[in-house]
Amino acid sequence: KAGVTQTPRYLIKTRGQQVTLSCSPISGHRSVSWYQQTPGQGLQFLFEYFSETQRNKGNFPGRFSGRQFSNSRSEMNVSTLELGDSALYLCASSLGGVRGTGELFFGEGSRLTVL
């Protein structure tokens, strides 16, 4: 069974630009979550999508947005990039379900560098 696939793996942007990251979950998984990982901060929850609906949202500014398609693939977008947005962005899929709280399967991440 293929794992979680994230693209691109690495990207470099400049301040003010916008970026879109893509995530293909494990087949059959309907929940996709996004996390930002930075040194010293660990993993910070961005948002979770389940059946194309945002089910949970973390404490990030509105510049961070996402969506999920009918095939469960998900994208996240960051607009007006700031230097502090440099991080590893991790996507995780899970079976989901009404009550959630299942094992997360992480992709290898998209490493964003903002210059």
Binding site for another protein (CB under 8 A): 4, 31, 33, 35, 40-45, 48, 50, 55-56, 58-59, 90, 92, 94, 96, 99-109
Angle among Cα 95, 104, 102 to the nearest 5 degrees reads 55
Taking the least distance from each CB to another protein, the nearer of 17 and 25 is 25
- Residue 51 in contact with residue 71, Cβ under 8 Å? no
Cβ-based nearer residue to another protein, 86 or 106: 106
- The alpha carbon of 29 is separated from its chain's Cα centroid by a whole number of angstroms, namely 15
Kindly state the smallest distance separating residue 17's Cβ from another protein, in Å.
Answer: 25
Minimum Å distance from CB 46 to another protein?
Answer: 10
- Could you tell me the smallest distance in angstroms from the CB atom of residue 63 to another protein? 20
**Phi, psi angle pair for 84, to nearest 5°:** -70, -5
Helix (H) or strand (E) holding 112: strand 110-114
